[in-house]
Amino acid sequence: MTEPPEHRDAPSRRGVLRTAVVAGAALALPLAGTLPAGARGRTLPGHAPTGSLGDQSAVRTFTLGDVRLTYVVDAAMELDRTGFLPAVPSSYWTEHPEEVAPSGRIAASAGGVLVERGPRRLLIDVGLGANLLPASLGVSRGGALPRTLRALRVRPETVDTVAFTHLHTDHTGMGFVTAPGRAPRKAFPRAGYLVAGAEWEPFWEHQVEVGAPSWDSFMVPMSTVLRRFDDGAQVWPGVTALITPGHSPGHTTFVVSAGGGRRILVFGDAFHTPAQVAHPEWPSGPDTDVDKVLTARRTLLAELREPHTYGFAFHFGDQAFGRVGDDGRWHPVPARALLPAPIRLP
């Protein structure tokens, strides 16, 4: 495949976001035909095009221009309001009961976002796997990613790149396959594994404790295969890295150009709940550097309010795809449900 001109040259640091805007409208590549035929034309029964914040995320897909993003869900999580979101006043939840799960916690799925353009597949993050949230932060159950991909007829060897927003356990859990007596091996055997150098180094030097992934089943095998990228790097055709540190040292947003000036920002854990979009001054309990989080959020909110710009949020209940309106709030956009949430908590 000949890459279009806007994808050939790595953009400069300042050009990251603008590159996405000026990307030409000429691309009209066919999307990889992989979803079950029956799932293409209709929404899953019982699932509206936009879901509820109080629910676990369905496996939803969103097409924009020449790119398709699918939330390949691995895990169900529920965040403890005081442990995970201590800065959000309790009165906020009382006034917004629709943002709270029936358990009283905050629904937050985990998984990866599969980005498909033409014949290529990029997977951003890989879910929770066998990890568990610390009890003080919430409850969780993961490990559904292989099942989700199988149901979508996506074979792991067809993923050409895996890129990580950050290294916390709920984003790296299914990166490697482990078996007793055998060395861990890549779960996506033909994919390059990419992470920001600014994220990798502090974890590798044991400078970060919060959320750190398993040393033996992630860090060690990752150290033998990883490719580091810097701020502004093009990590995949039409996808650039914007380092948005604070939640973790090199936390990264990926800016996905969709052609015609349209773009989607996969902003990782810069926000954990739409309440923080409306109130960016409310950090999350696990944030490493609150001042940097607030700076990152200012940058992201300015970008998300630009025309033709959408966002993807891993942990926004069943409203992962959305945009930020002139009112400064998160508004979910219609995203077709292909499969129900693969895991539910008791």
Q: What is the C-alpha separation between 67 and 115, in angstroms, rounded? A: 7
**Span of 124-132, 172-180, 268-276, 321-329 interacting with Zn ion by CB under 5 A:** 268-276
The residue (of 200 and 259) whose beta carbon lies closer to Zn ion is 200
Closest distance to Zn ion from the beta carbon of 322 (Å): 17
**Span of 56-64, 252-260, 263-271, 335-343 interacting with Zn ion by CB under 5 A:** 263-271
DSSP label at residue 172: H
**Span of 153-161, 176-184, 266-274, 321-329 interacting with Zn ion by CB under 5 A:** 266-274
Of 175, 159, 165, whose CA–CA distance to 116 is shortest?
Answer: 159
Closest distance to Zn ion from the beta carbon of 30 (Å): 33
The residue (of 99 and 269) whose beta carbon lies closer to Zn ion is 269
**What's the token pair of residue 10?**
């790595």
3-state helix, strand, coil in the chain (%, to 5): 25, 30, 50
The residue (of 99 and 170) whose beta carbon lies closer to Zn ion is 170
Closest distance to Zn ion from the beta carbon of 204 (Å): 20
The residue (of 80 and 170) whose beta carbon lies closer to Zn ion is 170
Beta strands of 211-335 (E only): which ranges?
A: 226-229, 234-236, 239-243, 252-259, 262-266, 309-312, 321-324, 330-332
- Subset of residues 175 to 234 that bind Zn ion, contact rule: CB under 5 A: none
User: Is residue 212 classed as helix, strand or coil in its secondary structure?
Assistant: coil
**Of 55, 125, 269, 287, which one interacts with Zn ion (CB under 5 A)?**
269
- Subset of residues 151 to 180 that bind Zn ion, contact rule: CB under 5 A: 170
Closest distance to Zn ion from the beta carbon of 251 (Å): 10
The residue (of 23 and 313) whose beta carbon lies closer to Zn ion is 313
Closest distance to Zn ion from the beta carbon of 24 (Å): 34
Contacts of 60 (CB under 8 A, 6+ apart): 51, 70, 71, 318, 320, 321, 335, 336, 337, 338
Q: Say if strands 330-332 and 321-324 run parallel, antiparallel, or are unpaired.
A: antiparallel
Torsion of CA 250, 123, 156, 320, to 10 degrees: 120
Closest distance to Zn ion from the beta carbon of 144 (Å): 16
Closest distance to Zn ion from the beta carbon of 211 (Å): 8
The residue (of 170 and 318) whose beta carbon lies closer to Zn ion is 170
- Say whether residue 125 binds Zn ion (CB under 5 A): no
The residue (of 15 and 285) whose beta carbon lies closer to Zn ion is 285
Residue type, position 280, single letter: P
Contacts of 130 (CB under 8 A, 6+ apart): 142, 143, 173
Strand order in the sheet with 239-243: 234-236, 239-243, 252-259, 262-266, 309-312, 321-324, 330-332
Q: What is the C-alpha separation between 71 and 346, in angstroms, rounded? A: 22
Q: Which residues make up the interface to Zn ion (CB under 5 A)?
A: 170, 269
